[in-house]
């Protein structure tokens, strides 16, 4: 069997699941690329080569058909041009979150050696992406849940220790008085009542990384109350939000006495990021 034939067989098997029909070809190529140890972009160039890992591919396909996320099967995923270790117990980095990174980088571009705080850091994808693209930034990444914190430590080491990982609960007052030029966060924001209606695949991710409390706003309230005061005058607070939370989070930002509050939309046209400036 060639690599190309293996891709077609895997795609056909995955496409039998209704929820995977549209992504079957892409996911099959991801699996084959991982098994071949080659970048996804090069896999088509290897279609004529022999494929000798049919048993391993079959196990991966069966794992995927059971509902396990592709990212957990592969053990890593790309975000903002960087690769991050992922697995059970940590939220999978998603493309729409890149808007949060872009918002922070746009604000920081003319600031020498800024101090940045990444709250509810998970894999560390947001904070590490900021640090990689703002070389003189001093980034602190905060995560509380133990499984996620272990991935944060692993990814911080993987990317050269460019962020400082701190285990702390964002829902409690911080134990530091350090001033930050920018605070970013992709916190849990799904209302508790909506968790059971999420796609089965999403429900394989940790509820602690999804559950935003009764109205989905619990973490935004804590961030505005406990963490926004750590902003230096003129500093930026930017958070990812659910598609229908823009108005509510803007009101929380106003109550925290932030100014120049803006809601940014993602490529799908949905409200995705709220950002505001601490008054000087």
Print pLDDT tens along the chain (280 aa): 999 999 999 999 999 999 999 999 999 999 999 999 999 999 999 999 999 999 999 999 999 999 999 999 999 999 999 999 999 999 999 999 999 999 999 999 989 999 999 999 999 999 999 999 998 999 999 999 999 999 999 999 999 999 999 999 999 999 888 999 999 999 999 999 999 999 988 999 999 999 999 999 999 999 999 999 999 999 999 999 999 999 999 999 999 999 999 999 999 999 999 999 999 8
| Angle, in degrees to the nearest 10, between helices 3-14 and 54-65 | 20
* pLDDT value at residue 25: 97
Helix (H) or strand (E) holding 274: strand 271-278
* pLDDT value at residue 177: 84
Residue 175's SS3 state is coil
At the topology level of CATH, where does 76-278 sit? Rossmann fold (3.40.50)
* pLDDT value at residue 176: 81
Separation of alpha carbons 13 and 24, rounded Å: 8
Tokens representing residue 72 in the block: 């957990």
List helix spans (H) across 92-212. Answer: 98-108, 125-133, 146-158
């Amino acid at each position: 069997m060639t690599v190309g034939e293996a891709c077609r067989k895997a795609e056909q098997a995955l496409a039998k699941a209704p929820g995977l029909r549209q992504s079957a070809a892409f996911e099959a190529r991801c699996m084959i690329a991982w098994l071949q140890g080659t970048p996804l972009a090069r896999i088509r160039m290897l279609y004529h080569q022999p494929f000798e890992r049919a048993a391993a591919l079959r196990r991966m396909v069966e794992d995927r058909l059971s509902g396990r996320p592709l990212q957990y099967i592969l053990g890593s995923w790309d975000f903002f041009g960087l690769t991050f270790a992922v697995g059970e117990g940590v939220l999978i980095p998603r493309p729409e979150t890149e808007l949060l990174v872009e918002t922070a980088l746009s604000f920081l571009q003319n600031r020498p050696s800024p101090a940045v705080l990444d709250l509810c850091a998970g894999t560390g994808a947001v904070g590490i992406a900021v640090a990689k693209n703002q070389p003189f930034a001093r980034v602190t990444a905060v995560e509380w849940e133990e499984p996620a914190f272990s991935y944060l430590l692993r990814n911080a080491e993987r990317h050269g220790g460019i962020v400082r990982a701190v285990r702390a609960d964002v829902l409690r007052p911080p134990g530091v008085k350090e001033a930050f030029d920018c605070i970013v966060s992709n916190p849990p924001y799904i209302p508790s009542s909506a968790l059971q209606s999420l796609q089965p695949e999403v429900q394989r991710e940790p509820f602690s990384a999804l559950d935003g409390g009764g109205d989905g706003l619990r973490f935004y309230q804590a961030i505005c109350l406990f963490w926004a005061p750590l902003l230096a005058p003129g500093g930026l607070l930017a958070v990812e939000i659910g598609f229908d939370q823009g108005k509510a989070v803007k009101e929380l930002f106003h109550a925290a006495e932030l100014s120049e509050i803006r809601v940014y939309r993602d490529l799908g046209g949905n409200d995705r990021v709220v950002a505001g400036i601490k008054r000087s």
